[in-house]
Amino acid sequence: MRACASSAKKKEKKNNHHSQGIGILVVFLILSLDQLSKFIVSRYLSADQSIPIIKNVLALTLVHNTGAAFGILKNQTLLFIAISLIALPAIYFNFKGKAAEEQGRLSRLALLLLISGAIGNLIDRIIWGYVIDFIDFHIWPVFNVADSAISIGAILLGYSLLKSKR
C-alpha cells in the first residue's frame, strides 16, 4: 500500500511540474507576443497615427492609454501599478492552489491569460507611464494583445465558474 501511495505522489508531483512548465511557457509566449507587437507598432507609428488594414473595419492606431479599460480613470498610473502588484500574486496563488486543480484546465488557462495580460500592461505602465494600445476595430476602444488576454481569460474564468456550480 505504501509503495502505491508513494508512486501516486511522485506521479502527481511530476504532473504538477509539467503543468507549471506549460503554464510558464503560455505566459512567456503571450507576454512576448504582446511586448513584441507593441514594440513594432511604436517603432513605425507616432501617437494617434492610424494605418488602415481592412477599410472601415480594422486599423493599427497607436494610442498611449493612461487609463484603464476604455480609457477610464485617466492618469492613475500608480493606482494601476499598485492594483496589478496586488492582483498578480493573488491570481498566481489561486493558480497554484487546490481550487485551480479542482476547477480544471479551463480555469488554469483563464488564470494564465489573466496573468499574461496583467504583466504585459504592467510592464508598459512601469516603463512608459501608459499602456500601448494599437488594435482598432473602430466600433470598440483601441486595445492590445494583453487586453485581449485579460478579456478572454475573464470570460473563460466566468464560464468555468458557472459550469462548476452546475
pLDDT at 45 over 60: yes
User: Residue 154 class from Cβ within 10 Å (0-12 exposed, 13-18 middle, 19+ buried)?
Assistant: middle
pTM for the model stands at 0.80
156, 110 contact by CB (below 8 A): yes
At 133 the pLDDT is 96
* pLDDT recorded at residue 73: 62
Q: How confident is the model at residue 131 (pLDDT cuts 50, 70, 90)?
A: very high
Is 48 marked active-site?
no
Active-site choice (34, 124, 133, 136)? 133
- Grid cell at residue 75: 492618469
Q: Is the pLDDT of residue 8 over 60?
A: no
Q: Is 133 one of the annotated active-site residues of the chain?
A: yes
pLDDT in tens, 52-80: 999 999 999 999 998 776 666 676 777 77
- Whose CA is closest to 107, among 119, 116, 117, 94? 94
Tens digit of pLDDT for each residue in 96-106?
655 555 568 88
CA gap 16, 95 in Å, rounded: 11
| Residue 129 Ramachandran class (φ > 0 left, ψ -120 to 50 alpha, else beta) | left
